[in-house]
Structure 1
Amino acid sequence: MTRANGASSPLPADRALLLTRAAEHALRAGLPDHAAHLLQPLRAATAPSPARGRAALVHGMLALRTGPVADARASLLLAARLLDDDGDHERAIRARLGAAEACWAMGDAAAYREVLGPGPSGGGLLERFLRAMTAVVGGPGPDFGGGLRELRRVVELAADEDDPELLVPAGSASLVLGDLTAAGELGGRALAVARAHGLTTVVPRALEVLAYAELRLGRHVSARAHAEEGVRAARQAGESNVLAHHHAVLALVASLDDDAEAVAALAAAADATAVRHGLAQARTLTQWALARADLARGRAPDAAARLRPLVRTGPRGGHFALRMMAVPCFVEAALSSDTDREEAAAEAVEALAGYAVWAGLGPDPQAAAQLLRCRALVAAAGGDDDAAEAHFGQALDRHEDLDGEFERARTALQYGQWLRRQRRPGPAREALRDARVAFERCGAGVWAGQAEAALRATGAVSAAAGAAASAAGAAGGSGAAGPEPPSVLERLTPQQLRIARQVAEGATNREVARLLSVSPRTVDHHLRNVFVALGVRSRVELSRLVARADEGER
């Protein structure tokens, strides 16, 4: 097949098209290695024109699913040009959709718009989807409203569609619009049809739409189930990039209940591919998951350090479609950290300015309630107690009209902790019990533990502790009592004990310093010694230990 000068000889047109069709079938069947093998005889310089564009399309889709997405973008743009030249406009549109998907995975909004230009003409679902996304990606602009209307039309058209390759982008349109119920329905239909027709490569992408919809609705158990199924499907289809996204979703779900090591393991599994293949979306999700795990365990400074880059724009910022979703966690982490309070408040206010605009566009049903919670935290940090209470109340009222137990529980937790610092133990207990029960209902065990620790710090005794005490009292109702075991807190010096109790009640290092008339550096020094003396690693663990010790003394 080679000439003496080393150049490849042209392939006959019928053989080139045969190989290309076979590669397309192998790709759809989830056999990427076989598809790549079938394309080896085809070289851009020697393949006849009708096959060149289709071969470039297969190469690009292979890279999009299994390789660096920047390479996929280049291959798919080449395929679109070649296919347009051949008059194959339907495949050219699919190539542009793939190139846009690569830009999305890269987190490059400008490249996304550049790939699509003004968008293709025509009234089909894909053409409408691409035109609409050109208008809305990157935020409000002159065509933003028209783009949202076009996306809604895409979702309407999908009602009569049964092609899963079209239902998946329609589901993505619903996610952008914040119509999460429609996203779940479209993802479910795409999944059912793909399975019925043996479209192996569509299954993990349909499951990805479902997992994202459930995640944003706060249905974390369902999100975990879909993502775990997505992991299996992506492995079967040999799609490493989709596999990374499913691992990232699992990491975010695990931050509710699993131990920190499990979250880190899932994040590492996603990052192993995300870093190598340039998957900014998956990378942003894993960092958000690790930060949320830090928050759940009382490690606010670590959480703030992870989230600070994610909520900023620029090449080192978070993914443009996820940046705003991480803002509420960042605000909580920044204002809970033992850093300069004025600087933390300024960072929070700056992040909230953009978040308020985004929330007003309606892309996330939970955003309005989360915005009010964040405003309450900012007001509390600034000492404006009236505004803090008003914002907390408004946020909880908003949550009542929404699905999503987890975010409502987080607002109740923050409100209860604020009430406790206001020395209002009765209302604090009510809010914290509500938070604990809500966390337990949605499977957020780690967060439920945080609510329980805060509840005990108000002097309340948990149901489990009360039952244990009653049982012990019944068993020991007769006979002499044994010697009282020494309290673990006796290991501390008087100053360390004072600091430990204040921190267990939710005070920051700066608040303790003001109360005891010492420097924050002194408080930090004593608190480190307290952690060593008591064998705890976080403020949450310290709060639990102090509560248990106090119960034992009563």
Structure 2
Amino acid sequence: MTLSTTVPGALRPPELHGRREEIAAVESLVGRLRAGRGGALVLAAQPGLGRTALVEHARDICPPVPSVQLTVPAALPRQGPLLVCVDDIHAWPSAARSALLADLRRLPAERPVAVLLTVAEHHAGAGELGGPVTLRLGPLDDTAAAALLDRLTQGSADPVVGAWLIREAVGNPRLLTALAAALTPDQLAGRTPLPDPLPGGEDLLDAYAARIDALPADARALLLLAAAAAEHEPDGAGADLALLLRAGGAASALAPAEAAGAVVAAGGRIHFTHPLLRRAVLRRAPLARRGAAHARLAAVCRDRLSRLVQLSCAAGDHDARLAGDLAEAAIAPHPHAERSAALARAAALTADPTLRTDRLAAAAEASRLAGDPVRARALLARTAAVPAHGGVHRVRGLLSLADGPAADAREELITAAVLLPPEPARHALIGAAEAAWAMGDAVAYREAMTRVPACVDDPALEAYRAGMCAVLAGRTAEGHALLRGCLDDVPATGDAAGLLRAGAAALVVGEVEAACGAGARALAAVRAFGPEVLLPRALEHLAYGELRAGRHTRARAHALEGLRAARRTGQPNVAVSLHAVLALAASVEGDAEACTAHAAAAAAGAGPHGLAQAATLAVWAVARADLAAGRPGDAAARLAPLVAPGPRCGHFAVRMLAVPCFVEAAVQAGRTAEARDATAEFTRWAGATADRLAPAQLARCRALLAPPQHTAAAYENALAHHDRTPGEFERARTQLLYGQWLRRRRRTREARGPLRDALVGFERCGARAWADRSRGELRAAGEAVAGEREPGPGPLEALTPQQQRIARHVAEGATNREVAVRLSVSHRTVDHHLRNVFAALGVRSRVELSRLLAGDGGLPDRDEEIAAHL
């Protein structure tokens, strides 16, 4: 036993990363002790997760209260407040643990004693601590692990190396520390390849394996077979019990292994309770025993690839024949993850540097297709011996396309195309074109697609390549004809990439329903046949097609699923695009907070990686939400740079789609000249495009700009175009604008019809904010609206409905001119009503009005609202 008092000003222990909840619990215990109250806390965790560091933190913050660190059974001091710390109490004999707990229970109630105990989970004695509050420490998340690694290496670790170390440490800070310490500076910096397997952490693995040391020999032998069998299985799949029994494992040995908490048997498979336990079982076995286990498994494996993987694990050196057999067997229908593991094994057995690099590049590509970019990059990091390798550049470029600057991806893929044979070079150039598209560089897109050799063996791909080149070269009719041929030649099933190209071609030629159909088939193909890496992209294409078709609710559902898939497969660039789609959906549905949040997320990722298409869509979404909320000035200011020609313009495939929004906002904001210029360009585009909504949208733009004597006829013409095309949302917007114009001309009886139709249309497509605008217009036109919220009691109760709307807008900070635009009334009308509002409410200023409505609940409290978003 040691009694200690920490010296004030002593160095604090190293920062505890990712342990905010645990630190708060420890500090709460110490705080209660300082206040004269006792308490108890048990910290339970697997080895290496930081139990001891938390005990040191408790003792560090304890002064002036003394603390006692019990390392052996001993009597407690009987006087004064006390912090009792016992680290690894499971290591004490059972009788000593019981005696300490009994001693603590006998302490007088008035004696302030705080007890902090730590125990290893699944260890004998852990169950005896049922009385105190128990806090279980989990593994660090990747963010906390990255912060720890950055501190350990002083920021010198290469990102690829760091990601692999974090993966291998599985959230264990002690293991991460050991792995980083075992590497040389050149290995940490990525200048030399990492060893495989990584050294370090042997003492920690011994601590994990200690739980099986007391097991019978046949149980330990079964666990070794299970650990070895997992080498040819996907991560987390466990081991096939029948295979272990064929290899000589004893069925009776399973029960003691389960009782010890080492494994769990379910569905005919055996799973280790912790990945480090499986690793420890393999590492601790002598090389001869480990090799024998792999050989026994190889002898009874019925699948050729699994058998070859087990033989490779038993091999001690380069083996050209075995490596060739592995590479030959690593083909479909095996999952990409298994193919990657086999190809990596083949590379390890290969002596020739060029052939080894070929196999590592193929293994990295299989990992990429499996949705595992961390492993893919780690495999590429072993290829330094052959610097100019087309396969390496291609995989690196495709990884950057999913998670990196689009310009970097394009350069890597262009370089790969120079180094690769014709067939893989073709796919590298198509990837380079995709990068240029994401960047918004039409010239670079056309250059890359022009360099793609004619695809005579793939008519659909050739039609897509030639059609896109023609469209971007200005030969629109020729390009559309070719792209329609792409739709005709797309295979029925299986080729997810081909279906995604067909969906993109359909959007270019204005066949929105065909685009949705191709997207749905691509999604089904990915789910049935893979590859996993295409799942978020398929969901993005489908969601965007559904947005264009006006099915915003379905688009949101698919985009949310895609966002989860993009995060799971390490594709933040796809996540950025999906955030933009979600922002567009929210701008229609009227969820302003969701629109702002998704648009901000899209902008945050689009900027650093140069994703112009996602950035343009996000700005368009926020501008459309501004329009829905009656802020046309804000909407026009956002969209003006995107729709105007010049270096600040938006993405070339999105610019014209946003013009109708800009024209509407610009006309209402008094920027008529800019609206006319944009309409003129939109007219030329509508004449060349096959977009079915374009004629109706163009007619609406012309109605907004028409002289009063022709406006009604122009709106009727626009509605006639809408009657010939789908698109509930766009039709309702035209009806709303027509109704607003009629009401402003005091033709209120005529205005009610289009306003009612607009309300119904918006309600049918779930556009809540737009429906609210329609209700407001209907009420202003003298028609009661069923389902509209009645004003509650409060200071606004005495006001007319129009006065209430004006009061709320003014209290939110809008100027009189902005209120006039939002409510489609004159500036003079707002002035008149606002004077009456001030008189009725007894306020003298806009500030007093804002305070009155905020206090009544009529407005959100700004401080609370801001705090809720932090």
Normalised-by-shorter TM-score class: 0.7 to 0.9
How big is the shift at 1:150? 1.4
Residue identity in the other structure for 2:713: A
**Against the structure 1 CA distance between its residues 189 and 492, is the aligned structure 2 distance closer, same or farther, given a 3 Å change threshold?**
closer
| Contact preservation (8 Å) 1:11, 1:46 | no
Q: 1:369 aligns with which of 696, 699, 723?
A: 696
Q: 1:126 aligns with which of 461, 466, 483?
A: 461
State the TM-score, normalizing by the size of structure 1. Answer: 0.81
How big is the shift at 1:502? 6.6
Residue identity in the other structure for 1:111: A
**Against the structure 1 CA distance between its residues 334 and 361, is the aligned structure 2 distance closer, same or farther, given a 3 Å change threshold?**
same
**Against the structure 1 CA distance between its residues 155 and 347, is the aligned structure 2 distance closer, same or farther, given a 3 Å change threshold?**
same
Deviation per residue, 1:271-315 (Å, 9 max, x gap): 121111000000001100110111001111101000001102232
Deviation per residue, 1:126-149 (Å, 9 max, x gap): 2332222122126xx2x3322222
State the TM-score, normalizing by the size of structure 2. Answer: 0.52
Q: Who is 1:359 aligned against?
A: 686
Matches of 2:478 and 2:755 in 1, distance apart?
44
Matches of 1:196 and 1:310 in 2, distance apart?
40
Matches of 1:229 and 1:7 in 2, distance apart?
39
Residue identity in the other structure for 2:391: R
Residue identity in the other structure for 2:849: A
Mean alpha-carbon deviation: is it higher for 500-509 or for 171-180? 500-509
Residue identity in the other structure for 1:77: I
How big is the shift at 1:503? 6.4
Residue identity in the other structure for 1:97: I
Deviation per residue, 1:141-171 (Å, 9 max, x gap): 2x33222221111111104463112211121
Q: Who is 1:418 aligned against?
A: 741
1:46 to 2:364 alignment:
no
Q: 2:366 aligns with which of 11, 20, 25?
A: 25
How big is the shift at 1:115? 2.2
Matches of 2:369 and 2:586 in 1, distance apart?
31
1:107 to 2:440 alignment:
yes
| Contact preservation (8 Å) 1:120, 1:131 | no
Matches of 1:529 and 1:363 in 2, distance apart?
54
Matches of 1:194 and 1:491 in 2, distance apart?
51
Matches of 2:367 and 2:829 in 1, distance apart?
65
| Contact preservation (8 Å) 1:405, 1:442 | yes
Deviation per residue, 1:382-411 (Å, 9 max, x gap): xx2232111100111121222211101100
1:445 to 2:768 alignment:
yes
Q: Who is 1:98 aligned against?
A: 431
- Counterpart secondary structure, 2:532: coil
How big is the shift at 1:222? 1.3
Matches of 2:590 and 2:613 in 1, distance apart?
22
Larger radius of gyration between Structure 1 and Structure 2: 2
- Counterpart secondary structure, 2:424: helix
- Counterpart secondary structure, 1:117: helix
Q: 2:592 aligns with which of 238, 241, 260?
A: 260
Alignment RMSD, CA only?
A: 3.1
Deviation per residue, 1:310-340 (Å, 9 max, x gap): 1022321110000000001100101111xxx
Matches of 2:805 and 2:192 in 1, distance apart?
82
Aligned length: 482
1:232 to 2:569 alignment:
no
1:507 to 2:834 alignment:
no
Deviation per residue, 1:185-217 (Å, 9 max, x gap): 111111111111231111111112111111111
Residue identity in the other structure for 1:109: A
Residue identity in the other structure for 1:103: A
Residue identity in the other structure for 1:32: P
Matches of 1:312 and 1:216 in 2, distance apart?
22
Q: 2:799 aligns with which of 478, 481, 487?
A: 487
| Contact preservation (8 Å) 1:118, 1:134 | no
Matches of 1:346 and 1:283 in 2, distance apart?
26
Q: Who is 1:210 aligned against?
A: 542
1:461 to 2:781 alignment:
no
Q: 1:36 aligns with which of 352, 361, 377?
A: 377
Q: Who is 2:315 aligned against?
A: none
**Against the structure 1 CA distance between its residues 298 and 55, is the aligned structure 2 distance closer, same or farther, given a 3 Å change threshold?**
same
Q: Who is 1:15 aligned against?
A: 356
- Counterpart secondary structure, 2:734: helix
Residue identity in the other structure for 1:129: Y
Matches of 1:186 and 1:285 in 2, distance apart?
22
Q: Who is 2:13 aligned against?
A: none
Matches of 1:260 and 1:151 in 2, distance apart?
37
**Structure 1 gap segments, 5+ residues each:** 473-483, 517-527, 543-554
- Counterpart secondary structure, 2:504: helix
How big is the shift at 1:120? 2.4
Q: Who is 1:479 aligned against?
A: none
Matches of 1:373 and 1:536 in 2, distance apart?
41
| Contact preservation (8 Å) 1:296, 1:447 | yes
How big is the shift at 1:492? 10
| Contact preservation (8 Å) 2:573, 2:605 | yes
**Against the structure 1 CA distance between its residues 283 and 40, is the aligned structure 2 distance closer, same or farther, given a 3 Å change threshold?**
same
How big is the shift at 1:361? 2.4
Q: Who is 2:658 aligned against?
A: 326
How big is the shift at 1:530? 6.0
- Counterpart secondary structure, 2:444: helix
Q: Who is 1:57 aligned against?
A: 394
**Against the structure 1 CA distance between its residues 70 and 445, is the aligned structure 2 distance closer, same or farther, given a 3 Å change threshold?**
same
**Structure 2 gap segments, 5+ residues each:** 1-185, 194-350, 811-815, 833-843, 859-870
Matches of 1:463 and 1:296 in 2, distance apart?
21
Q: 1:389 aligns with which of 686, 700, 712?
A: 712
Residue identity in the other structure for 1:255: S
Matches of 1:57 and 1:167 in 2, distance apart?
22
Q: 1:156 aligns with which of 479, 484, 488?
A: 488
1:533 to 2:849 alignment:
yes
Q: Who is 1:550 aligned against?
A: none
How big is the shift at 1:114? 2.2
Q: Which is richer in helix? A: 1
Deviation per residue, 1:431-473 (Å, 9 max, x gap): 111111110110000000001111111121112369x79xx9x
- Counterpart secondary structure, 2:652: coil
| Contact preservation (8 Å) 1:204, 1:230 | yes
**Against the structure 1 CA distance between its residues 302 and 491, is the aligned structure 2 distance closer, same or farther, given a 3 Å change threshold?**
closer
Mean alpha-carbon deviation: is it higher for 360-369 or for 193-202? 360-369
How big is the shift at 1:536? 11
| Contact preservation (8 Å) 1:119, 1:131 | no
Matches of 1:320 and 1:491 in 2, distance apart?
40
Residue identity in the other structure for 1:285: L
How big is the shift at 1:18? 1.8
Q: 1:350 aligns with which of 653, 669, 677?
A: 677
Give the structure, 1 or 2, with the largest relative contact order (CA under 8 Å, sep 6 or more): 1
| Contact preservation (8 Å) 1:420, 1:505 | no
**Against the structure 1 CA distance between its residues 531 and 317, is the aligned structure 2 distance closer, same or farther, given a 3 Å change threshold?**
farther
Deviation per residue, 1:213-272 (Å, 9 max, x gap): 111111111111111111111112111101110110000110123432221111111112
| Contact preservation (8 Å) 2:354, 2:386 | no
